[in-house]
Structure 1
């Protein structure tokens, strides 16, 4: 059986179910692989319970699934991700996405 560390890593985006059965989407803050349950601490970005949004909660690792990494292909997607980076306070991701957006704008300007 694979260790939790080979499947999930801090920073991975996940979807899953909380202890109370709420649907959550967020990212992993930390792992507790040495616990019998295999807990992960997830910062919730979206949930069907608005009170959970923005909080970091423990979730059983077997109740989460890592979301695939997506390739951003257009301006609207980058702008959405920039908003997400701002709402989660991820400065590095914000800088990376802003740089991508600027490159995209320069390419558009060169084409005109």
Structure 2
């Protein structure tokens, strides 16, 4: 899936298929370069039990999701909840600012 040309880093959004065949969309929490593994916090999956959990995935199982895709208010609110549950204050502030910008541009 991954052509290894894209350099992945913590907080990058990725999608892939788990070793059990489940669709995974989430962000990289940490990496183990020696094992060629990433630990992904699952934001969306066809297995709802995985949502919110951190799972290990091989670099060959994931591919980067372009960051330039525009998020709607509902997606931003979901991500804000996720940032709160993971205790990521910086990401929370970034998402909150983006959501506030969207709300101000509508008014």
TM-score range, shorter chain: 0.7 to 0.9
2:61 pairs with 60, 63, 66, which one? Answer: 63
RMSD of aligned residue pairs (Cα, Å)? 2.3
| Matched length | 100
Query: With structure 1 as the length reference, what TM-score do the two structures score?
Result: 0.73
Bigger relative CO (Cα 8 Å, ≥ 6 apart): 2
Larger helix share, 1 or 2: 1
Greater Rg, structure 1 or structure 2?
Answer: 1
1:81 pairs with 68, 76, 82, which one? Answer: 76
Query: With structure 2 as the length reference, what TM-score do the two structures score?
Result: 0.76
**Structure 2 gaps, min length 5:** none
Cα deviation for residue 19 of structure 1 reads 1.4
What's 2:11 paired with? 11
**Structure 1 gaps, min length 5:** none
